[in-house]
Amino acid sequence: MLLEDLGSKHERSREKPSWFAVVRGDYERHGRSLAEPALISLLIYRYGNWALKVRNPVGRWVASKGYGVLRLFVLNITKVWISPEAIIGEDFHIIHAEGSLSIHPDVVIGDRVGVMHNVTIGTNMGPGAPVIGNDVFIGVNSAVLGPIRVGDRVRIGANTAVTRNVPSDSIVIGSPGRVFARLTPFVAKGASQGDNGTGRSGGTW
């Protein structure tokens, strides 16, 4: 299961995109503007993550110091703190960067995840951080905390605190977060039977 693979923090076996492709994708997703704070912050995360993997000790030390300077003078302005130790999948999208974003070093995030502003993803008064699946959306002013797993295709509403596991294809709303099953699978099933998911042929929502 992909979520378990992410949680183990091992490198995925599939071929990864090139550095150029990753940066180009970040650029296109964030409005094709080099002045976009979300893009700048994400690129600094990419650099910091790369710096940790430099094999030469001297080179790694120099690269890490460079990241430290960027963190001090840039990230303290953008208020987007993504630890370079965090594992983030492909097509990560910081939808708005008007507020703060904080992602803990132990966090693991899957592919095609989008986060709004004023979001915290990290620990909850103890060890352990979230493992988040693919195609997840995290709304504004939300917190995802503790050693929990958030499944694929989950939608986390605004002003929501998530502190327990969330199954795939769910919606989480409120503080503390309440988990609801999404209607999408049922609608798809009903549509295939010609009843639009309402139990009645030709019905409307």
Strands 161-162 and 143-145, bridge-based pairing: parallel
- 5, part of any domain: no
Q: Domain for residue 119, yes or no?
A: yes
pLDDT tens-digit profile, the chain (205 residues): 445 455 444 444 456 778 888 889 889 988 888 889 899 999 999 999 999 999 999 999 999 999 999 988 898 888 999 999 999 999 999 998 788 899 999 999 999 999 999 999 999 888 899 999 999 999 999 999 999 999 999 999 999 999 999 999 999 999 898 999 875 544 445 444 444 333 333 332 1
Does the residue 204 lie in any domain?
no
pTM of the model: 0.77
Considering the domain boundaries, does residue 138 fall inside one?
yes
Strands 80-82 and 101-103 turn out to be parallel
> What's the CA gap between 36 and 51, in Å, rounded?
23
CA 199/CA 197 separation, integer angstroms: 6
Q: What is the DSSP letter of 177?
A: T
Enclosing domain of residue 23: 17-185
Given a contact cutoff of 8 angstroms between Cβ atoms, the answer to whether 142 and 150 are in contact is no
Bridge-based pairing of strands 137-138 and 87-88 is unpaired
CATH number for position 127: 2.160.10.10
Is residue 148, in this structure, part of any structural domain at all?
yes
191 in a domain, yes or no? Answer: no
Q: How many domains does the chain have?
A: 1
Closest CA to 131 of 115, 146, 119: 146
On whether residue 87 sits in a domain, the answer given is: yes
Tokens representing 113 are 């995840």
In a domain, 8, yes or no: no
DSSP secondary structure letters along 112-126: S-EE-SSEEEE-SSS
